[in-house]
Amino acid sequence: MMASGYKEEDGHIGVTALGGASLRGRKPENTAFKQQRLPAWQPVLTAGSVLPAFFIIGLIFIPIGIGLYVTSNNIREIEIDYTGEEVSNPCFSCAQNFTWNSSSPCTCSIPFYLQQSYESNVFMYYGLSNFYQNHRRYVKSRDDSQLNGDLTSLTKPSKECEPYAFHEHKPIAPCGAIANSMFNDTLELFYIDPNGSRVAVPLSSTGIAWWTDKHVKFRNPGNNANLSAAFQGTVKPINWRHPVYELDTDPENNGFINEDFIVWMRTAALPTFRKLYRVIQRKNSLVPTLPRGNYSLQVTYNFPVRSFEGRKRVILSTISWMGGKNPFLGIAYVTVGSVCFFLGVVLLFIHHKYGNKSSSADMAN
């Protein structure tokens, strides 16, 4: 039978047991931190400190929210859906018949009307819905070393790219599911002048990617100016129509440093998203970038969305100092400021009505 005994040390009761260790060894050191004797400060919430805080927050947040909301409303934006699910949509035939295996692309034109002129630079986005770029396996399906121009990774892609690492026993460049599903619709914009003639709107395909992506994360392999030779021995992704070295005729926007490709490779966090496609630069301060009138969006339909019940759209938008159109931010500021101001009024009323009675009762006692 095990015997035990009790003894008191330093004001604490210790327990010892035959064959066992003393619990005294578990006692924390006698320091201010471990014995929780550090000095502390606790604010005393009084009416004199709480009420001004509520009113100050309300008076600051409400004007900021109004300013953000007005700024957002001044941003001009139009969305053109060209999914082609409706029979009346000009792209209906393309949507019904086009697949990844189609031998030739389908072309459709969507007319639309701009109610207001766009004065400053205009940004053209493409938008997708119900496309989950945030899926874990999808996000990991890439080889960053290959995209950075590493020659070893070019011929031996990472296992993360499977099953899009090799095709017919040849390495895929660029490998992975993200690159394989790259958005490849071609979008062109035409202005219909009063005579009915179509005037092409110039679209800039550079300056749409992040600087760090363009100049740090993405590089073409080797120092060979001939990209077809640099990518020799590799094959294009399965769903692509052309190899990576034929994405553009401009050598500064071709291969892994093609900005359309770079923009697509930065995955979206939500299933409904938009990505920058082109920029329409303002050339004359006296002439609007996009005048009011009739336009035509010509689409080369290469990206099917019926398989995942998605939708496609084009967004034409201007921007402000706060970025793109975002009315939620202004509404949130106004809501928070209004709630704080309302609570301040309610608490002031309660303090004025019941606080004086409590003070009088205490003085009487």
Blockwise average pLDDT, block size 10, the chain, 365 residues: 46 48 72 87 83 93 95 92 90 85 84 92 96 95 95 94 94 96 95 92 94 94 86 93 93 94 96 96 87 94 90 93 87 96 92 69 53
How far apart are alpha carbons 158 and 175 in whole angstroms?
8
172 CB burial (10 A radius; 0-12, 13-18, 19+): buried
Radius of gyration of the chain (CA): 32
φ/ψ of residue 137, rounded to 5: -70, -35
Q: Which pLDDT score, from 0 to 100, does residue 127 have?
A: 96
Write the CB contacts of 328 (distance below 8 Å, at least 6 apart in sequence). Answer: none
CB burial string 99-110: b at 16+ within 10 A, e below: eeeeeebbebeb
The 10 Å Cβ neighbour count of residue 224 is: 12
Q: Which pLDDT score, from 0 to 100, does residue 102 have?
A: 74
Q: Which pLDDT score, from 0 to 100, does residue 323 have?
A: 82
Torsion of CA 73, 74, 75, 79, to 10 degrees: 60
Rounded to two decimals, what is the model's pTM? 0.79
- In 104-159, the DSSP E strands lie at 106-114, 122-129
CB 180 within 8 A of CB 238: yes
How far apart are alpha carbons 200 and 193 in whole angstroms?
11
CB 326 within 8 A of CB 82: no
Instruction: For the sheet with 311-317, list strands across it.
Output: 77-81, 311-317, 122-129, 273-280
Question: What is the CB-side half-sphere exposure of residue 8 using CA atoms within 13 A?
Answer: 2
How far apart are alpha carbons 286 and 57 in whole angstroms?
42
Q: Which pLDDT score, from 0 to 100, does residue 237 have?
A: 95
